[in-house]
Structure 1
Amino acid sequence: MASDQYVYILLTNTGTLFTQLIQTYTRAPYNHASISFNRELSDMYSFGRKHPSNPLHGGFVKEDIQTGTFSKYPNTTCVIYELQVTSREKEKMKRVLHIFIRSQRKYLYNILGIIGIALKEPVEFSNSYFCSQFVAEILQRSGIKLWDKLPALVTPDDFRQCDKLKLLYEGRLSEYRPENC
């Protein structure tokens, strides 16, 4: 690929009760996925908690590793992957993302979609996503297909198992230093 453009996929485990419940079923080390357009993770998005202390109020969120939910859980563990893309694919991703940003209040967290994964049946509602579904949707709408499955069936662990992603970092999120990767 003649490009040096990248996007970053962050998988995390905050250790919260909600994460522990999901982990009981998935047995995966990370159960939240986010996408960032820079290595510093300062431009990072997902579907998750709108308020750090309320797991039931979720939706489209711009995440920050210094504030919000991640700052409330300093022992959050993570893995960060780099995906090489063309400048055109990255530009498409940003255009898709801006649709979410412009209409962010209308988006809801797709809690039933998580149940759909357990049943291996996609549960999709318009304007409703869970974290890995959102990241997979951004990629797919930009022409990047990492799996032969619908975004509504993609789990955070699918990213971890994907050989098209390059591992950059694994450890505590609070100890991540982009300049060391």
Structure 2
Amino acid sequence: MKIYLVLTATSSLLSKTIKLYTGASYNHASIALSPDLNDLTSFGRKDINNPFIGGFVKEDISHAFFLNAHCSIYTCEVTLEEYTHLQTKLAYYHQLQDFFRYNFLGLLALAVNVNYKREHAFFCSEFIATLLEDCEIYQFDKSPNLVTPQDLQASSIFKPLYTGTIKNYLSTAPTQIYHYV
């Protein structure tokens, strides 16, 4: 079984500001269980036009905001048990999505390397690191609330699959996508 890590950089003002501060190519991380990314989830904007209203989201990759985003997609081989555990965890977050918040304070703390954990609140890479640890897929050498998209990218479990725009990835024939997996 495979899971997919999607790192993106959009052209939004917030994205450009974060990139200016971090110098990193990507500043947002999402996770999917299928190569077509139709189940792409993360902690991010609940409203595409407002970066300050955030929480657990199923991301609409058909929206121009994502279609034109530059991305790198990685894949990770997991056992059936890990995959099933991940499905269960994601279903839990979907079911209680209004209960969770975006961890803006944690993101600010991360920027100054302060370990700050909020209950029921995550930023994107913190969420994915927490999922990977909770499902016993990967253990980071630091707290999930200190994990960045670059830490996810550098982890030994993820193998590169694609770099380009999401639109170009989605236009790739399924046989070509699977060829690289």
TM-score (norm 1): 0.91
What root-mean-square deviation, in Å, do the aligned CA atoms of Structure 1 and Structure 2 show? 1.3
CA apart distance, 1:95: 1.1
Q: Give the Cα–Cα distance (whole angstroms) in 2 for the partners of residues 101 and 40 of structure 1.
A: 19
**Matched residue of 2:136: which SS?**
coil
Q: Residues 138 and 157 of structure 2 are in contact (CA less than 8 Å); yes or no, is this contact kept in structure 1?
A: no
Letter in 2 for 1:78: C
Which runs of structure 2 are paired with 1:63-142 in the superposition (5 Å)?
63-67=59-63, 71-72=64-65, 74-142=67-135
After superposing the two structures, state which structure 1 stretch, 76-85 or 98-107, moved more: 98-107
Which residue is equivalent to 1:55? 51
TM-score (norm 2): 0.91
**Matched residue of 1:60: which SS?**
strand
After superposing the two structures, state which structure 1 stretch, 160-169 or 76-85, moved more: 160-169
Letter in 2 for 1:26: T
Question: Is the alpha carbon distance of 1:42 and 1:35 closer, same or farther for their aligned partners in structure 2, counting shifts above 3 Å?
Answer: same
Q: Deviations over 1:49-72 (max 9, x none)?
A: 1111111111100012113xxx23
Segments of 4+ moved more than 4 angstroms: none
Q: Residues 61 and 67 of structure 2 are in contact (CA less than 8 Å); yes or no, is this contact kept in structure 1?
A: no
Q: Deviations over 1:130-170 (max 9, x none)?
A: 00111111111000224211110110111222232111100
Match of 1:169 among 147, 162, 168: 162
Q: Deviations over 1:12-36 (max 9, x none)?
A: 0012110111111211101000000
After superposing the two structures, state which structure 1 stretch, 158-167 or 15-24, moved more: 158-167
Which residue is equivalent to 1:24? 20
- Identity over the aligned pairs, expressed in percent? 38
CA apart distance, 1:178: 6.0
> Which runs of 5 or more residues in structure 1 are unaligned?
none
> Which runs of 5 or more residues in structure 2 are unaligned?
none
Letter in 2 for 1:45: T
Q: Give the Cα–Cα distance (whole angstroms) in 2 for the partners of residues 41 and 140 of structure 1.
A: 22
**Matched residue of 1:132: which SS?**
helix
Which residue is equivalent to 2:41? 45
Alignment coverage as a number of residue pairs: 174
Q: Give the Cα–Cα distance (whole angstroms) in 2 for the partners of residues 74 and 43 of structure 1.
A: 15
Q: Give the Cα–Cα distance (whole angstroms) in 2 for the partners of residues 37 and 74 of structure 1.
A: 19
Q: Residues 5 and 31 of structure 2 are in contact (CA less than 8 Å); yes or no, is this contact kept in structure 1?
A: yes
Q: Residues 40 and 178 of structure 1 are in contact (CA less than 8 Å); yes or no, is this contact kept in structure 2?
A: no
